[in-house]
Amino acid sequence: MFVTKLSRTLSLMSALAICLTGAQVALADDSTTTTTTTTTASSGLAGTVAHAHRPRIGLALGGGGARGAAHIGVLKVLQAEGIPIDMIAGTSIGSIVGGLYSAGVPLDKLEDDFSNAKLMKNFMTVPLTVRIIVAPIMVLPRLVGHKAYDGLYKGVKFRNFCNNMVDPAKRNIENLDRPFAAISLSLIDGEEHMLTKGDLGTALQASSAVPGLRKPVEIDGNLFVDGGVLANVPVEYTRKLGADFVIAVDIDERVEPVPLKEFKKAGSVARRMLKLELNGLDKPMCKGADVVIHPNTDGISLVSRKKSDGLRGIKAGEEAARQALPEIKAKLASLGVLSLNK
């Protein structure tokens, strides 16, 4: 069963690679070695949180590339409404937003970096078409015995970009403002792992290493790729982190009927397959959440570097979070966390 699921979801990532042709992805030439401690998802982790006398509230931030701007909008509303967030688990772009937020990067800074496309331009610095054109040149070192992990680019520049946004005192996950886990899949043991200690930038790099595009990230003898392959909305792992109440943020596009003529366009079948696969993978995960926030990210490309998409994603997150507020407040009030008047 697991092999079938893994095979199916890896084929999903292959479809993603097809859909990204002509889009922008990152290229990094430098490399450094960093250590990050991991916890297998099956073992769980109890985080130390403030306000231990009340139920602990966790946020599960899903993957979805540039659609992750919606996470900023959600966080803005939750913060403005005084909804406490004791811990965060994130996958791919969800880990990036959640990790930087947990490291104390202000929301207005994250909002600026999404709305002016700075974050996505650092995440994807070179067009994929250019990278493919120069790929034969990049293979030349193999002819003289140099062996590297499979993938078009490393993602090290983005790792450094993330770490440079953070106070040096908080560049280790265990020093963040709240318990945090970046979800990543190990190619070695086939298990999802919760990256909960060590270098923050390395964990974010591993959690967002899309198979076939970005080279896997080696950590402590393991080899990690994008956690979205098996756990794109990490509800279960937010609970393993210690949450009693989980708010999930699903940034997938919605699945709506489309006319036959749409599938005569180049790449349309692969894009449709990707959308269907992501929805099929994420819906069951979201059922385990206490509240699901699903911003309308329709039409925002996974790899968009458009400022307009960043702004639209943030607005969509704000709107969806406001719509979910009555449910969130009612459920938290029933647990004694909030007053219904709040």
Question: Would you please indicate which residues are annotated as catalytic (active-site) residues?
Answer: 92, 226
Q: Is the dihedral of CA 93, 97, 103, 106 positive or negative?
A: positive
How many residues belong to the chain?
342
Q: How far apart are CA 193 and CA 122, in angstroms?
A: 25
| C-beta contacts of 335-340 below 8 A and 24+ residues apart | 335/54, 335/55, 335/244, 335/245, 336/54, 336/55, 337/54, 337/55, 337/57, 337/84, 337/245, 338/82, 338/83
Residue 39's beta-bridge partner residues? 194
Q: How far is CA 15 from CA 61, 211, 277, in A?
A: 22, 11, 10
Q: b or e along 221-248 (b: 16 or more beta carbons within 10 Å of the residue's beta carbon)? A: ebbbbbbbbbbbbbbbbbbbbbbebbbb
Give me the phi and psi of 60, to 5 degrees please.
Answer: -110, 110
Q: How far apart are CA 162 and CA 261, in angstroms?
A: 42
